[in-house]
Amino acid sequence: MAPGTVLVALPGTMCTPAVFGPLARALAGEVTVDPVSWLTEPGPWDIPSIAERVADHINDRWHRPVLVCGHSTGGAIALQLTIRHPDAVAGLVLVDTGAHMHGHGDVDAILERIRTDWGEQLRAAVLDRSFLEPLAPEVRKEFLAWAATVDQQAVYNVLASQRDLDLTSELRNVTQPAVVVHGQHDQARPPEQGRELAASLPDAEFRLVQNAGHTPVYETPEVVAGAVRDVLART
């Protein structure tokens, strides 16, 4: 394993960067995992603007191309980053995400609830549906406490931006090696969207995780760590 390898990790909307803790432990001694709390940074909170801030983070902190792991909305940010700043990205691991939100059936309902019914009940519902098995109570409490600190308008804006974004026509320009990982039991995105994404990228593999929901980076970290190692080997 090459020394000094960095994996910049981009979590999904309303998802604490701590979700990458199990993956960081799985890669300890091999890869430095750098979770970016993009949702708590100053706006604007549309996907292109967030991708620009992540590019600045990579350039300012690491000064070289890095691996990028994007989970859910973080995957859309990772794709936008790679399209706009290809020299910043050496390889991609894209987890339960896609180039668009067509078929993501409840996004408009979630946006409406964020606008009119923002609160603990909504944040808990989004968190709970993201995992195949219930989180340990103390972990769930920690994740919900983090979600309670994020700005309502930031959450609305980034999800609205992702809903309106379709990067399909630009995927042919993403030539970095990639692995697309998708949980079999994802309640937000069907696995077919992961297969579609992998098929649209010039150098990508698709891996279906049987015992995971929407968040394999936490649920099955060894599987995602294997994807990181394989991408690194192909860079």
Which domains does the chain carry?
Answer: 6-234 (3.40.50.1820)
**pLDDT given at position 104:** 66
CA dist 149 → 21, 31, 82, 197, 208 (Å): 19, 29, 29, 32, 33
- pTM of the predicted structure, to 2 decimals: 0.96
Beta strands in the chain (DSSP E): 6-10, 32-35, 66-71, 89-95, 178-183, 204-209
pLDDT beyond 70 at 80:
yes
Gap between the Cα atoms of 201 and 235, Å rounded? 15
Gap between the Cα atoms of 54 and 96, Å rounded? 20
Confidence of residue 105 (pLDDT cuts 50, 70, 90): low
DSSP, collapsed to helix, strand or coil, labels residue 186 as coil
Residue with tokens 């891996």: 207
Residue type for position 118 = W
Residues 130-160 have pLDDT tens digits of 999 999 999 999 999 999 999 999 999 999 9
Phi-psi domain of 166 (left: phi exceeds 0; alpha: psi -120 through 50; beta: other): beta
CB 201 within 8 A of CB 231: no
What is the percent of the chain with per-residue pLDDT over 90, rounded to a whole number?
A: 94
Reading the block at residue 53, the tokens are 């801030």
How many CB atoms are closer than 10 A to CB 139?
A: 16
pLDDT beyond 90 at 102:
no
